[in-house]
Amino acid sequence: MEQYNQDKNPIETNNRDNRDERDEPMTVYRYDSSNKLMNVRSAYEEELASADRAADGPNRGNRGKRPGGMPLKTMLASFLVGALVVGGLSFMSDRMNLFTGGASSAIESGGNSYSAALGLTTASLSSGENNASVFDQANPAVVEIENYGNPSDQYGANLFGGRGGWMGRQQLQQQQQSSEPELVGTGTGFFIDKSGYILTNQHVIADATELKVTVPGYDGKLTAKVVNADEQLDLAVLKVESPDGKDFPALTLGDSDQTKVGDEVIAIGNPYGLDHTMTIGILSAKERPITIQEDDGTEHPYEHLLQTDAAINPGNSGGPLLNAQGEVIGMNTAVNAEAQGIGFAISSATIQNALKELMSGTTNLSF
């Protein structure tokens, strides 16, 4: 910083309490606005004196007067007064933030300095509030699906806990001793139509002898029937009847083709039996092809998948992957068991094309 003697007074201090006596004195600079004002005043007074001396000439009758008639000294004095007044007002307004409207305070507090300076109040919706709103809107349409069947000794790990979603190995082995249909696993689904049509993964309902669906707001579990399924695409449509005759809440299918890598996404499901769990992430990639090894050793190729880092686990199968507007852009389907933050979802574009065939012959649908 460049030093001006007329503006800053160096003050040498020796702090004997905190510094060694052998240290050099510390120089502190203090801004002295009174010195600045005195220097300006002295300069103007000297200018006035010079004007008086220049006015002393042969024409003493017109000394100190301009051709227009106004004395030169009066003109300079007026200019001096005006400069001092304007300078003082500018200094005070800056110190009191009269023109900024407290913008400096807004900056210090992390607020919007532009809005503060203009005196505007902005009502913005934070990301957390928006996510909570999406969850409140979508959650009533997300259901838990229980697959009852004849347990086997196979336990897959690549597709959200294998057949039917999540089921612990010990519990699965205990149920093998019974010949009655037992809970093989759980998964997730969501209503796509208010009349009771549910979309889920085919592997969630595979080999089931009975399907039970838990719907938010309803006491007890509803029995579901399979309308149609596509093993290759890993999609299935179920149907439940409303006990009270009321419409079910349904989600809207969005356009996954319009999504961009980096968009925020929300997953809702029942991971490890923890019903109605919401996780948040971003869309990591699009058009991902992967191959999953099934329980019997066969390979199942998937194409056009969405990749996300939203936390999804066994039991999330069949659950919706939502955009910031609460629209379904994908169905959570697979997770890489050897990695973290790598999950996959069937795109809504693929779902839309498949629904035409899966729901053929069905009328009066709302999607």
Burial class (CB in 10 A: 0-12, 13-18, 19+), 197: buried
In this model, does residue 27 exceed pLDDT 90? no
DSSP code of residue 19? S
Q: What is the mean pLDDT of residues 313-325?
A: 95
Confidence band (pLDDT; 50, 70, 90) for 154? very low
Has residue 281 been placed in a domain? yes
Q: What is the mean pLDDT of residues 282-297?
A: 88
In this model, does residue 18 exceed pLDDT 50? no
The pLDDT score that the predictor gives to residue 300 is 84
The pLDDT score that the predictor gives to residue 125 is 42
Cα 93 to its chain centre, rounded Å, is 39
Give tens-digit pLDDT for 178-200. Answer: 567 899 999 999 999 999 999 99
Burial class (CB in 10 A: 0-12, 13-18, 19+), 44: middle
Has residue 290 been placed in a domain? yes
Has residue 237 been placed in a domain? yes
Across the chain, mean pLDDT equals 75
In this model, does residue 13 exceed pLDDT 80? no
The pLDDT score that the predictor gives to residue 128 is 74
Confidence band (pLDDT; 50, 70, 90) for 29? very low
The pLDDT score that the predictor gives to residue 31 is 39
Count of domains in the chain? 1
Q: Which domain holds residue 326?
A: 133-151+181-359
Give tens-digit pLDDT for 56-96. Answer: 555 554 544 555 555 666 666 667 667 666 666 666 656 56
DSSP code of residue 258? G
Has residue 36 been placed in a domain? no
In this model, does residue 146 exceed pLDDT 80? yes
More confident: 328 or 150? 328
Determine the angle formed by the axes of helices 72-95 and 33-55, rounding to 10 degrees.
Answer: 170
Token code pair at residue 350: 């693929």
Annotation marks residue 234 as catalytic: yes
Q: What is the mean pLDDT of residues 191-215?
A: 96
The pLDDT score that the predictor gives to residue 334 is 86
CATH number of the domain to which 272 belongs: 2.40.10.120
Enter the pTM of the model: 0.61
Catalytic residue among 113, 203, 284, 347: 203
Confidence band (pLDDT; 50, 70, 90) for 263? very high
Has residue 258 been placed in a domain? yes
Has residue 317 been placed in a domain? yes
Catalytic residue among 113, 256, 284, 317: 317
The pLDDT score that the predictor gives to residue 337 is 75
Please give the Cα distance from 248 to 214 (Å, whole number). 12
Contact in structure between 229 and 283 (CB atoms under 8 Å): no
In this model, does residue 324 exceed pLDDT 50? yes
Catalytic residue among 113, 193, 234, 348: 234
CA-closest candidate to residue 288, choices 263, 312, 307: 307
Has residue 314 been placed in a domain? yes
Annotation marks residue 203 as catalytic: yes
Has residue 259 been placed in a domain? yes
The pLDDT score that the predictor gives to residue 342 is 93
